[in-house]
Structure 1
Amino acid sequence: MGASWTRPARLVTVAFAVAAVAGTVLLLLPASRTPGSPADPMVAAFTTVSALCVTGLITVDTATYWTPFGQAVILALIHVGGAGVMALATLLALTVRGRLGIRGALVAQAETHASSLGDVRRVVGRIVLVMLVVESLVGVVLTARFRAGYDLGWPSALWHGVFHAGSAFNNAGFALWTDNLMPFVADAWIILPLVVAVVLGGLGLPVLRELRRGWRRPSRWSVHTRLTVNGSLVLLAVGTVLFWLFESGAGGTLAHLGPGGQALGAVAGGAFPRTAGFNAVDYALVSDETETVTTVLMFIGGGSAGTAGGIKVTTFLVLAYVVLAEVRGEPDVSIGRRRIATSVQRQALAVVVLALTLVTTSLVAVMAITDLPAIDLTFEVVSAFATVGLSTGITADLPPSAQAILMVLMFVGRVGSITVASALALNTHHRHYRLPEERPIVG
């Protein structure tokens, strides 16, 4: 497995690195920046990595620093990152399930582990089709609303509709407004279409395909689809309720809104951290409770083989079922009428431990070079690793060394999480013997 895995993983890393360099060069062009905006290589590189890794963290105002050409480059990078990661994750998932081969001579085959170029074309074609359909529908609604409700001309309304629809489906979180989505927190025609696009993009192509074929028969869903859909709904509900409880009271960021506006703001607060990165409120003003809950939601993330980041809902729920089985004293971990393989349980544990190790190490490193509050730095680091893009507004205030750490986190969180999870699943060795058992004291 070693040679067959390391070569594709290396090619994936190189491909993303090349795209990052190309994006940085394009954003350094004078045509990408508005008059008076300096040509800062660090700003261009950070923005490129953030867009390519569909994160949304920014060190400059997207609306005023970049020209329409620069914004178009960012949108193109978002789609390259979103579609590329969805294709990579989907085909690696199929490889793990044994539906596709693992050998291929072409770069495209090596990158996606497809058994033939036709496999790559079919999967990428489906992803592009789903992306176009969802973004087109959401873009039409947003364009009409921007035109009718905010007095934008048709060209400007269309550009804003297309950009935000693409940013939402790819869970990127980039916005063409200085205050992101805060001016629209009470506008259902803006918030709800974006929430729908974020959720659909975060579910992943395998889940969307299964829902299209049998959405009326949940009993026939695979365990993966059941975990992804039900887990996403529960986390969305929990996040929405907690956001409303913590932010609707006196002094909260939703306190000035009516009941309808508070409901929309709470839905946005529950949906966007997993992992779109849009902010309908100012996260620099939210309570510590909201910041903590949001950090947890960001770390969990969305569905596998989608545009969302984090450790993924399925990973989190598999471990939850492991704990439940252990508490009950059951020998097997079962979900519905299916037993979960021990190898999957170990893979889930490995993913979480590796993620916690990376986040903790990065957090300590960032804390060592800045004196900003620990809770805000934790929020920032988890947001970068989970490719969310939410921030309390400290990104631009971080020193270049800390921003470089965030760039590495975004890259590893976007590409590394997929390749590591798939490598763990594919790295199966069968011994012809078993060693004597011993039980160390645990707890």
Structure 2
Amino acid sequence: MSKTTDYLVKPGGKLTGRVRVPGDKSISHRAVMLGSLAQGTTRITGLLEGEDVLGTLGAFRAMGVAMDGPNHGALAIHGAGLRGLTTPTKPLDMGNSGTAMRLMAGILAGQQFDSELIGDESLNKRPMERVAEPLRRMGAVITTAAGGRPPLKIKGGQTLRGIEYPMPVASAQVKSCLLLAGLYAEGDTIVSEPAPTRDHTERMLRGFGYPVLTRDARISLRGGGKLVACEIDVPADISSAAFFLVGASIAPGSDLMLEHVGINPTRTGVLRILTSMGANLELMNKREVGGEPVADIRVRAARLRGIRIPEEQVPLAIDEFPALFIAAACAEGETVLTGAQELRVKESDRIAVMAQGLRRLGIYAAETPDGIVIQGGRFRGGAVDSHGDHRAAMAFALAAPRAAGTVTVSDCKNVSTSFPGFVELAARAGLSINIE
């Protein structure tokens, strides 16, 4: 049995200095996928070497793609072309990553060989019918386990046809899955989204020379083209930066600079929400790197106030809510979140896990079916369970500077999926954190 990892975080302290969090997970996954399907050698710098991305990398190696690295974020991928993948000899293990499984389903639906996607215990509880059903409409043959859960078995050799698909729920993963399947489909694949979601796939396809048309809420591409290798510098992940944005906002005396953070407008809901709460954020040295906007973000301690979070911001901050719930717990007054049902089917039921942990630390937190109501207060010390959710674990760790006593966070092993080196970086910034 693998041993668990617990965090022991002492109260007090402040966050200062300069830190660069690891590369963006969403962009790293997509860079590995498109680089593997491109013609020529794609060179990536700033790649996130977390377990999720390494799982994606291993899957393409298992399908015959040659790679050099990764080494300190540098990776060279010798692309196989869209039709050059080879039959894997065993199921492809996506570990803890819903992104990887859903996007890979789109790619594998267009291959000539049979394949199977498996995951860990947490991933095996997550809904996959949301990609399997529209892929079947395109002509794919896919079976899932009971309840539309993994593993996914995909039959090769099918002829895919482009479809027009209005997404019932805003999801960048469903949109990306269908666009990737569309690379192999006859005719046009058109996805319309009910609310804007992250657009890394569209931007990166264009970076690899593949035409993608975006008009209002409709995104379309035509099958039968090719991807051409390019160079990609992955920005620091705003989802990982979010923990430090919140930590420095709530710990008195903090003044922290987060370097080279991706500020793609489909991902900056966290900045807008924190600013609405009164956070002191300054975007400096704005620039564009490989089609993605980047900035350094200076964050200083501030008095936060509770707000009603606008529902249109929810898809633009979906991964940052565990950190934002900690901000809400330190704010004056009440924070109300609605329209966030998606949080219940992440690595954990994030609404339930965060509400339970906040209550353990003395904060009023009431779950609703699609959100939460948090009353600002004072953290006491105590023990909370992250339920194996990497973002919940990091969020609770960053609550400690404002706590009355030591905070112990259990089941933190999965933090390495998205943020290798989290404890070391947090300690360097001023958090009094140890691994138990």
Report if TM-score (shorter chain) is over 0.5.
no
Higher helix share: 1
Higher strand share: 2
Query: Higher relative contact order by CA 8 Å / sep ≥ 6: 1 or 2?
Result: 2
Give TM-score, length-normalised by structure 1: 0.27
Give TM-score, length-normalised by structure 2: 0.28
